[in-house]
Amino acid sequence: MSQCFFGVQGITTFQGPLSVSSTPASSPNVTVDSPAPRITGVPQKHQQHYRITLVPGIGIGVILLAVLLQLVLVVLIRRKSRELKNADFATQNPENTFHQSQSWRCPEGQSPMFQRYSYKETLKATDNFSTVIGKGGFGTVYKAQFSDGSIAAVKRMDKVSRQAEEEFCREMELLARLHHRHLVTLKGFCIERKERFLVYEYMANGSLKDHLHSSAREALSWQTRLQIAMDVANALEYLHFFCNPPLCHRDIKSSNILLDEHFVAKLADFGLAHASRTGTISFEAVNTDIRGTPGYMDPEYVVTQELTEKSDIYSYGVLLLELVTGRRAIQDNKNLVEWAQMYLSSGVISPEMVDPRIRDLVDIDQLHLVVGIVQWCTHKEGKQRPSIRQVLRMLSERLDPGNGSFGEGMEDGEGGFYPRSSKCGVHRNELIPHSGDMRSLHSSSSTTRSYCSRSMLLESGQAQSPPETL
């Protein structure tokens, strides 16, 4: 039967030894001395050995896989437990912990005007993040054109960290309630996995820093620089006097001043902004971590770590000096304020300190006025510095011919009194005419006096007069 089924000669030898008499009957061609039965017995032994080793191997593999899956499950459970603990802690301590899910829930709930963009939509609008228009400490800024035809600037967070997440959340929360023509408008945001994007209105002329320090850009005219100084002062006045609670920007610098198609300046980047805790119009000294940009930071704030609105005034003074000189806040390893002291110590403004691209086009009286304000704003002691409202009033009254009816002297409304005399190089009763710019040099604050009832309150401290050195 074995031969019939398998057709193999000598397969009956597996059953045991055969007699000599039966062998010729079953297979006449096979003899007792034939080696075939001995050869066919070898594969069976290998097959049995293979089965003996295969079954335990499969069992060990299954056990190892089960152990590995169990380890992965334990890791996932611990991670989820840690996330739940962090979420609970974030709920109890919102000022100390910034959970990823909170960073968009806070402003989204407060301001429905923000649009939430998807990552795919943002990627397509920026053409795979190919058009870079700026870079900063927060991340990279790209130009984007969305499907509805609108053009915007998309700021992408380079990496998600606790500080970056904190600044991301703070900026969204602040811009949800800040509205002023000299503050950059936030249009929307995108949050997916570890990606964070803020979508702003597009500013066609980029940053002030590019125009002052890039040789590829055409030099800004003197009148345009004065108007930019007015615009930034209006933005700071809004933050210091009209916000509730008042805000200290803490990062005033040329790269955070953006210019639209008409060179109207707007203040951007509120990631480091700090609010007055008492809610009063006068900032109390607050101990905070030292944050800011070298060259623009208030030296008194660096030493004492006590933040007030006068730290913004110092940074504004550095910005004014940057507009005048065309130099960076730190250039050739020299601080701009310290560098300017070499030219101001004698009391005479040297033409060498003026940006060489506009040196022959500057109005000398206006230059004396601006440099006097610079010295006032960069005073070493914060109490000796003016408020931004005093600076704005000086600029508008001295540079706008429409303010000539104010008379010989002017009380600044904050306890200080400065006569219209020869201070800062401006002679008695002389008003500086303005020319060469399409926009008038006047206070352009769009905030009405009725917006906040305490906007007419006056600061308690008495402001000092501008320096007499000029």
For residues 231 and 254, the answer to whether their CB atoms sit within 8 Å is: no
Catalytic residue among 251, 269, 355, 363: 251
Q: Which amino acid is at 181?
A: R
For residues 86 and 97, the answer to whether their CB atoms sit within 8 Å is: yes
CA–CA separation, 27 and 25 (whole Å): 6
**50 is written with which tokens?**
């293979």
Q: Which amino acid is at 328?
A: R
CA–CA separation, 177 and 186 (whole Å): 11
Coil/strand/helix, residue 107: helix
Question: At 46, phi and psi to the nearest 5?
Answer: -65, -40
Q: What is the largest CA-CA distance in the chain?
A: 148
Coil/strand/helix, residue 213: helix
Please report which residue ranges of 112-153 form alpha helices under DSSP H: 119-125
Per-residue DSSP letters for 48-61? HHHHHHHHHHHHHH
For residues 270 and 179, the answer to whether their CB atoms sit within 8 Å is: no
CA–CA separation, 315 and 311 (whole Å): 6
CA–CA separation, 31 and 175 (whole Å): 103
CA–CA separation, 338 and 104 (whole Å): 43
Coil/strand/helix, residue 187: strand
Per-residue DSSP letters for 294-335? TTTS-HHHHHH-EE-THHHHHHHHHHHHHHHH---SEETTEE
Q: Is 266 annotated as a binding residue?
A: no
CA–CA separation, 254 and 209 (whole Å): 5
CA–CA separation, 200 and 267 (whole Å): 12
For residues 445 and 180, the answer to whether their CB atoms sit within 8 Å is: yes
Q: Which of 41, 40, 22 is nearest to 32 (CA)?
A: 22
The residue with tokens 């290998």 is 46
Coil/strand/helix, residue 417: strand
Q: Is 332 a catalytic residue?
A: no
Q: Is 198 exposed, middle or buried (0-12, 13-18, 19+ CB in 10 A)?
A: buried
Known binding residues are 155
Known binding residues for ATP are 155
Active site residues: 251
